[in-house]
Chains A and B, each alone.
Chain A
Amino acid sequence: MCKFYAFLYRLIPVKTFQSFLIRKHFSRCLRCEREFLDESRVQEILIMPKSVEAKENVWPEIRRRIYARREKKSELKAKLRFIPSTKWKWAFAASFFLLVVFISVTGINYFLLEKKGIGNISVGYEKNVFVESATIQGKPAKLYFYQPKNRKMSVVWVGPNLR
């Protein structure tokens, strides 16, 4: 084998480069070819298809396993018959997903409002404020008290009593 090319082959172990060397040199160079492996010797080492005995028939076992798997599949299909079709599965999955999104968004919103400290709204009564009477156009009105969190103030507003 040409020493220079053999050296290059070992020096740069990049597959594309090695392939290039094989194509451009090793498979063309008569010297390398002559020195290269005698194919008949390789065939002595290898198991050839003709050396696989004719009695080695894998078909009966393949057939048995194919039928067993098919039977198993059909049994499974029969069991799964009550499970809705793919279309319904998708609809169910989508509605479940939307429900999860809705619950999480509402939960997050509630949590944020609590954290921000928007405060409590009570109807008709607030312990620090007392309103003697409230009327709108001579009719008794409804009172709303708003107590923001961490603030020393109360907001009172009046609305018509619809009852």
Chain B
Amino acid sequence: MKLPLMEEREIISRCLAGDVDIFEMLVKKYQSNVIAMGWNILGDKEEAKDVTQEAFIQAYFNLHRYDTNRNFKNWVFSIAYRKCLDRIRKRKSLVKFIQKMTKEDKFSTEGENRKKRIEDSEIFNSLLFRLNGRERAAISLNMNEGYSAKEIAQVLSCKESTARVHLFNAKRKLKMFLKEKKDV
């Protein structure tokens, strides 16, 4: 489904007028891109789908703030990216909490089970997860969407130079890990 920029604006203005169902066109157009980015950052498909839903809902309710000169896809990406970072932060605190609990030997069976579940998930096994969230987002946007450093910077809300460094570091680290893997 291809939507020209004018049509996108038209859809947005109809959404603003109260037509919810027309928003489906935008969701259907970009959902797989947003899910893929979320999946790359979070390493979990279900979480990526949740983030995608939340991002589109937030976008819908904030359409009145959306600058029509800006790319809608970029805007949704930046919302989803922030939500992914929130999830990573929450996940880190959950892991810390479980570690603390297992150390203190409280709820040890349940805590250890949860810890094991997290460690066994594809997040920890994937090579991609040797990179930090920003680097994962940068490489995902660059490889999947063909985004330049400037566009990545818009999504990540950082300077272009910083985006360039994230992208470079991501590629460098991946190269290193792939080499390690090959050697093993």
Contact = CB atoms under 8 A, between A and B. Distances in A.
Interface stretch (B19-27, B88-96, B104-112): B19-27
A48 interface: yes
A22 B165 contact: yes
Contact of B57 (A20, A52, A65): A65
Contact of A46 (B28, B31, B61, B143): B143
A77 interface: no
A91 interface: no
Interface string A78-108: 0000000000000000000000000000000
A41 B182 CA distance: 12
A162 interface: no
Contacts of B140: 46-47
- Chain B, interface residues (CB within 8 Å), range: 35 or more
Interface stretch (A11-19, A127-135, A138-146, A149-157): A11-19
Chain B CB count within 10 A is highest, among A22, A36, A52, for A52
A6 to B, nearest CB: 9
Contacts of A15: 159, 161-162, 165
Question: Which DSSP category, helix, strand, loop or mixed, fits chain B's interface?
Answer: helix
A76 interface: no
Given A51-B36, A52-B35, A43 B143 contact: yes
A39 B139 CA distance: 10
A20 B168 CA distance: 12
A124 to B, nearest CB: 72
- CB-based closest 5 A-B pairs: A19-B161, A37-B175, A52-B32, A49-B32, A49-B36
Interface of A: 15-16, 18-20, 22-23, 26, 36-37, 39, 41-43, 45-52, 54, 56-59, 61-63, 65-67, 69-70
29 contacts: A15-B161, A15-B162, A20-B161, A22-B165, A23-B164, A36-B175, A37-B174, A39-B143, A45-B127, A45-B128, A46-B36, A46-B140, A46-B143, A46-B144, A48-B36, A48-B143, A48-B144, A49-B144, A50-B32, A52-B35, A52-B36, A57-B28, A58-B49, A58-B53, A58-B56, A59-B28, A59-B31, A62-B23, A62-B56
